[in-house]
Amino acid sequence: MQCPMCHQNLQGVDYQGVHIETCPGCGGDWLAAGELDNIVTARQTRFTEEECLAVAKAATITGVIPPASDRHLTCPQCGGTTEPINYGDDSGLIIDKCPNCKGIWVPRGELDKIDELVHGWDDELPADLAKYGPKLRQILA
């Protein structure tokens, strides 16, 4: 497969126990459908709860809404055209997803940020549920 950004041949690597393709030129990563979910899930089996909380407390990613992106790349897996997506709607982490094969292109360094962001959300979920759950149940009723 070729990199959709710089067209070099992608190389297979192991990222947190999941096989992904990475570009030796621009450093971007190609994840086939479901591989991002596997990476996010792998953290729960590799780290203790205390380690996960420490990472979440150290997280510095805050939500932003970046300007619209009209970037469209050629999918290295199926040849389709990717669509830019603001991961989590307001994270500011722009990834490119192929609507055909569901693969994802992640620019250099963004995969670590996505992993950090998702685990920050997971770690804060119990506190958010305790804080907002009663109000949400009231609204639902």
Q: Chain-wide mean pLDDT for the chain?
A: 77
What DSSP character marks residue 56?
A: H
Nearest Cα to Cα of residue 120 among 36, 56, 41, 49: 56
Task: Indicate yes or no: pTM above 0.75.
Answer: no
Q: pLDDT for 92-116, tens place per residue?
A: 788 899 999 999 998 888 888 887 7
Continuous segment of H or E residues that includes residue 83: strand 83-86
Instruction: Pick the range with the lowest mean pLDDT from 56-65, 105-114, 130-139.
Output: 56-65
